[in-house]
């Protein structure tokens, strides 16, 4: 119980320190190179994806009632409305500016869901403290990454305007369902989608780093 949580928080703190370098030093202007900003963003995005994978696995291990229990829980992710490339060939066809905006939209699309997932998780039966701790850490680091990618966008193209777009999330009623099985299915799907989208963000940032910071030479 408490010892496991203490070990988890110690591990999160160690990982957090690796990814906690400021995306841009405080001051009137950002003097960090675009390459450095991408490197820091990728360290952070990889950390977030790793946490998301652990969160999804931990939830399934805690609440699954059998090998096939969650197979019927599959439903469309709320970010499915965002047009994302299926591979490198499609990625090369997207203008760099539009690609950066896509990453910003993906990150912002999880701001509201993460907030509600944390609040509602407290009402799950026997919700592990570690599960909630990881969700809170993901929420905090997702916001940091969002701010970092917005800084990158200004260096990529000062003309980029962040209009605040994001995919609308309508999953709260499912998380608050009186039927426990429906609630578990909803959580499983949200965590699956979070893992999928954090993996996308991580891959997209690596691709953009090569295309923008290294002129496609990596």
Q: CB-based contacts of 21: which residues, under 8 Å, 6+ apart?
A: 40, 43
182 is written with which tokens? 């429906």
Residue 95 contacts residue 85 (beta carbons within 8 Å): no
| Other CB atoms within 10 Å distance of the CB of residue 155 | 18
157 is in an annotated binding site: no
Q: Report d(CA 106, CA 166) in Å as an integer.
A: 7
Q: Report d(CA 188, CA 175) in Å as an integer.
A: 10
> Which alpha helices (DSSP H) does 84-128 contain, by range?
88-92, 96-108, 111-121
Residue 137 contacts residue 16 (beta carbons within 8 Å): yes
Residue 148 contacts residue 34 (beta carbons within 8 Å): no
Q: CB-based contacts of 31: which residues, under 8 Å, 6+ apart?
A: 25
Q: CB-based contacts of 16: which residues, under 8 Å, 6+ apart?
A: 47, 137, 141
202 is in an annotated binding site: yes
Q: Please enumerate, by residue number, every residue annotated as part of a binding site for Zn(2+).
A: 46, 202
| Annotated binding-site positions | 46, 202
């Amino acid at each position: 119980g408490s010892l496991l949580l203490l070990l988890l928080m110690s591990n999160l703190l160690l990982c957090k320190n690796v990814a906690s370098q400021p995306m841009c030093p405080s001051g009137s202007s950002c003097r960090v190179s675009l390459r450095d900003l991408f490197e820091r963003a990728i360290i952070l995005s990889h950390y977030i994806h790793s946490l998301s994978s652990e969160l999804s696995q931990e939830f399934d291990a805690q609440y699954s009632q059998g090998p096939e229990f969650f197979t019927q829980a599959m439903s469309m992710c709320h970010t499915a409305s965002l047009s994302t490339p299926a591979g490198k060939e499609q990625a090369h066809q997207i203008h760099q500016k539009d690609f950066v905006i896509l990453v910003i939209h993906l990150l912002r699309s999880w701001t509201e869901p993460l907030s509600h997932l944390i609040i509602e998780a407290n009402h799950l039966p026997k919700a592990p403290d570690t599960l909630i701790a990881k969700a809170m850490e993901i929420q905090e680091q997702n916001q940091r990454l969002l701010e970092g990618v917005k800084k990158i966008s200004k260096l990529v193209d000062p003309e980029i305007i962040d209009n605040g777009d994001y995919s609308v999330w309508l999953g709260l009623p499912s998380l608050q369902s009186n039927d426990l099985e429906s609630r578990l299915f909803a959580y499983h799907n949200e965590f699956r989608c979070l893992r999928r989208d954090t993996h996308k963000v991580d891959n997209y940032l690596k691709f953009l780093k090569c295309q923008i910071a290294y002129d496609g030479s990596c």
